[in-house]
Structure 1
Amino acid sequence: MTVQPALDGTIPNPPRPRADDYETWLATVWPKFTEAAATGRTFTTYEIAEQHRLPDPPNPQAHWGRLMTLLQDHGYVRKAGWANSSRPTTHHSGVRTWKGTAAARRSAAA
């Protein structure tokens, strides 16, 4: 597969693959998000997905939000605020930011 360079000469990252089923996708992405939560830093979902080149879920419009709700329900993250998205297709729209909890940091240390 050939990749078209951008106008500035840089080579863009290829699109992330899309998972076929939700349960397999969840098992793939869960550890990366619990690791991010254990750092205690504030992050967006897209930042973690892009950093680790995680696959998109079968239904991205619903499943990314569901992932974060599950992580919150399990005590790994809490809502931290809002930021402008760094996702190229969102035109810097507002997105939720998340922060790892003390419990997430403790579970990483155990």
Structure 2
Amino acid sequence: MTATVQPTLDGSVPEPRKTRTQRQAEDYETWLAEVWPVFIAAAASGRTFTTYEIADAHQLPDPPNPQAHWGRLMTLLKDEGYVRTAGWAMTNRPTAHHSGVRTWKGTAAARRAAA
């Protein structure tokens, strides 16, 4: 079943609206440049978070390969000393059916970098 698009009063057909779930970065480097500062700020906040919570709150695009790149981002942040593992939680991602996911917490280095 396909959705019908209602023409406007002048007869033109509007462009389909892009939603956050449709937004996906073209390449890894561009995506990383967009999401990196957001996750540094989340780490500097000192609160415990999941990757999805931050991505959803800031309406970040998906990477070119979501199954691999979200985890790679967090590994890079951990290797750079910005975050540490904090435990586990059930995700609130709608498509994940409350699966267990890693939680993260910013380090003192992240708080110093934000200052």
TM, length-normalised to structure 1: 0.86
Match of 2:83 among 77, 80, 98: 77
Q: 4+ residue stretches of structure 1 with deviation over 3 A?
A: none
Consecutive unaligned residues in structure 2, runs of 5 or more: 1-15
Larger Rg: 2
1:51 aligned onto 2:57: yes
Superposition deviation, residue 16 in structure 1: 4.6
Equivalent pairs: percent with the same residue? 74
Partner of residue 99, structure 2: 93
> What CA deviation, in whole Å up to 9, does each residue of 1:7-64 have, x standing for no partner?
xxxxxx6415010100000000000000000001000000000000000000000000
Superposition deviation, residue 106 in structure 1: 1.2
Superposition deviation, residue 82 in structure 1: 0.2
Consecutive unaligned residues in structure 1, runs of 5 or more: 4-12
Q: What's the RMSD between the two structures over aligned residues?
A: 1.5
Partner of residue 33, structure 1: 39
Match of 1:108 among 69, 92, 114: 114
Partner of residue 63, structure 1: 69
Q: Secondary structure at the match of 2:95?
A: helix
Q: Distance in 1 between matches of 2:34 and 2:97?
A: 28
CA contact (8 A) 1:16 1:53 kept: no
Q: Secondary structure at the match of 2:29?
A: helix
TM, length-normalised to structure 2: 0.83
Match of 2:48 among 42, 57, 64: 42
Number of equivalences: 100
Superposition deviation, residue 2 in structure 1: 6.5
